[in-house]
Structure 1
Amino acid sequence: MVAPIIITAAPIMCAFHNVMLPSQNYGTKKGIKQGLGVKRGSCGGLQIKANAQNHHNGDDKISKVVSKSSIRQNFTIRSYEVDANGIASVETLMNYFQGSMIYHGKTLGAYNDVAGTTKEMIKRNLVWVYSEMQVLTYRYPKWDDVVEVETWVSTAGMNAVRFNWIMRDFKTNQVLNTASSVSVLMNKLTRRLSKMPEEIRRELESYLVNSRIIIEDDHKKIPKLDDTTADYICTGLRPQWSDIDVNFHVNNAKYISWILEGIPESILMNYELSSMSLKFKRECKIDSKLQSLAEVCSDNNNSNNNVEYNHMVRFENGVEILRGRTKWRSKLTHNFDIFNHVPEASIKDL
């Protein structure tokens, strides 16, 4: 066993232990990129949560009602919302999507509070929770860029709705990101999922779009990970009070931070997240103790130089909270060719 590498960063302290695997070939079930080994760590400490609504100039106040069911809202990328590369963090983008979702309902007159609830939802103590989330990123905005987020809601079966987003560069109108989430109703008293009452369906029906598809569903199964299948395990994760939202559970953006805890530093330094698919299993509260697991699916030896991981966030007792899949592309290419071919041609209007 390789001697453990101790990494200390005040006020966050992380201890990682490298355990070399029998095979260094990504093609094997337990293979890992050469020189990385298996990372098992203990992570905890304070986290800084990006807040999409904490802006102080006029840029983010600009909004436009595109139609009865669609609005656009502007955000300026702040210095505290960028990562070590000077680009907007994934958590920042997730907060923008959530913030624009609430603003969308408020502007159109559907929602009555910061939780995005309608009058009939308030009567029944119901709130929205994500069951699935997909994000495709073509290019990340950088510090001081102004982005425009378009939001609309579509149908997703009898008991769910789908929130959709397109993020554009405000100056060029080029598409930067697309995202989609399936949301269901939860009773905030019993913490159980609920069917959608007919009264709520009638409240929302005039705002729902039936024909517009922004991201195709990811039907590829995400496996459940455990200690034997995971290549990386980070333990000792705990939510902070600042991670809790108005529904008294962990904000969805925080899960991204926990997923990233299971990614090797070499990947974070040399690659950027290009797509993400999340499936939420249950909520997480303030007193939870968590672990983040990651499994290597493919490495940078493939033709497009991409890396792919499966993820799971679970309680210490093994009960899973979330499953996910992330895909990473090399930062060296900057993906300009992909970016220039993205705009509206990738958006389907049936």
Structure 2
Amino acid sequence: MTSFSYNACCYITCCSTTDNQNKQKVITIKINGTSTTKAGVLRHENGVVTSTVAPVGENGYITMDQIRQNIPIKKQFVDPYRQGRIIEEGVGYGQTMVIRSYEVGPDKTATIESILNLLQETALNHVWMSGLLGDGFGATHGMMRNNLIWVVSRMQVQIDHYPIWGEIMKIDTWVGASGKNGMRRDWIVRSHATGSVFARATSTWVMMNRQTRRLSKMPEEVRAEISPWFIEKQAIEDDVPEKIEKLDDKAKYVNSDLKVKLAIINFNSSCYHNKGIY
């Protein structure tokens, strides 16, 4: 079994764009004799013109991101496109995933980076299915109103077996309270064929103000949004990770000239990178 942990500061919200980007023209259509204002996108294919319409925002336009994402405004129980479903008596989330060829290493087993990516994806899809997702990257409506984002402060992963290329997995995730101002999120990764456990993981999430970059207490309106989803269940019973020894000058390999690359910048930090802030 492989077990590791780390203290992280992963910012997972997206930067805002200008209001004038990717806007669609407003059109008026009639449904059953009643005029309705919509935002339309016309497509021409093989001589046939089709249109896609969506409700228009307050400013008379709808952004292309809103059309493409189609974020649910209420709780969903099944997501056929992602093969996801609500579990744990209506508060947990489970999703079926397949290990793809570009997610494995030379030995045809999934890399730890790929596994962590899948854990993050299921976490965000859980919020998506809850109907609480605002226009941020995993942030709820209350968090967006308070200009808050999620920060992963700690994560521990235990891997019993690495899934191989083409293997079908079932990933279950749920959330619970972590102190007064934190949230705990756990995962269990199982084989779809046998039900055997590949990996378990637990993490602690806290909130940060997007502008000041300071940690924030959990507002009551945010607590009211997410607390109904809390359950008392742990993927890793003894979740106290082994202490990582501090490196000193005796380290065998040292690289002190590390620089941030575009490939490792996430949505939340990318706008700060562009401003020269790291």
TM-score between the two structures when normalised by the length of structure 2:
0.65
Residues 173-322 of structure 1: matches in 2 within 5 Å?
Answer: 173-209=195-231, 211-215=232-236, 216-218=238-240, 220-228=242-250, 230-248=251-269
1:159–1:195 contact (8 Å) kept in structure 2: yes
1:4 — aligned with what? none
CA RMSD, 1 decimal? 2.4
Question: Does residue 1:147 correspond to 2:145, yes or no?
Answer: no
Identity of aligned residues (%): 35
TM-score between the two structures when normalised by the length of structure 1:
0.52
- Whole-angstrom distance in 1 between the partners of 2:207 and 2:218: 7
1:270 — aligned with what? none
State the SS of the aligned residue for 2:143. Answer: helix
Amino acid at match of 2:258: L
Question: Does residue 1:64 correspond to 2:85, yes or no?
Answer: yes
Structure with greater Cα Rg: 2
1:11 — aligned with what? none
How many residue pairs are counted as aligned between the two chains? 197
- Pick from 107, 121, 124: which aligns with 1:85? 107
- Whole-angstrom distance in 2 between the partners of 1:120 and 1:288: 27
State the SS of the aligned residue for 1:176. Answer: strand
Structure 1: gaps of 5 or more residues: 1-57, 251-283, 290-350
Structure 2: gaps of 5 or more residues: 1-78
State the SS of the aligned residue for 2:157. Answer: strand
Amino acid at match of 2:226: L
- Whole-angstrom distance in 2 between the partners of 1:149 and 1:109: 20
Q: For CA contacts below 8 A with separation 6 or more, give which structure has more relative contact order.
A: 2
In structure 2, relative to structure 1, the CA distance for the partners of 1:113 and 1:86 (3 Å cut) is farther
1:128 — aligned with what? 150
State the SS of the aligned residue for 2:201. Answer: strand
1:59–1:75 contact (8 Å) kept in structure 2: no
Amino acid at match of 2:202: S
In structure 2, relative to structure 1, the CA distance for the partners of 1:207 and 1:148 (3 Å cut) is same
State the SS of the aligned residue for 2:248. Answer: coil
- Whole-angstrom distance in 2 between the partners of 1:151 and 1:191: 28
2:135–2:144 contact (8 Å) kept in structure 1: no
State the SS of the aligned residue for 1:96. Answer: helix
- Whole-angstrom distance in 2 between the partners of 1:236 and 1:117: 34
Question: Does residue 1:169 correspond to 2:155, yes or no?
Answer: no
In structure 2, relative to structure 1, the CA distance for the partners of 1:113 and 1:145 (3 Å cut) is farther
Question: What displacement does 1:233 show?
Answer: 1.7
C-alpha distance after superposition, 1:43-74 (max 9, x if no partner): xxxxxxxxxxxxxxx99721121132111111
Question: What displacement does 1:237 show?
Answer: 2.7
- Whole-angstrom distance in 2 between the partners of 1:236 and 1:203: 43
- Whole-angstrom distance in 1 between the partners of 2:207 and 2:240: 22
1:310 — aligned with what? none
2:118 — aligned with what? 96
C-alpha distance after superposition, 1:177-201 (max 9, x if no partner): 0001101001111111111111111
1:126–1:187 contact (8 Å) kept in structure 2: yes
Amino acid at match of 1:213: Q
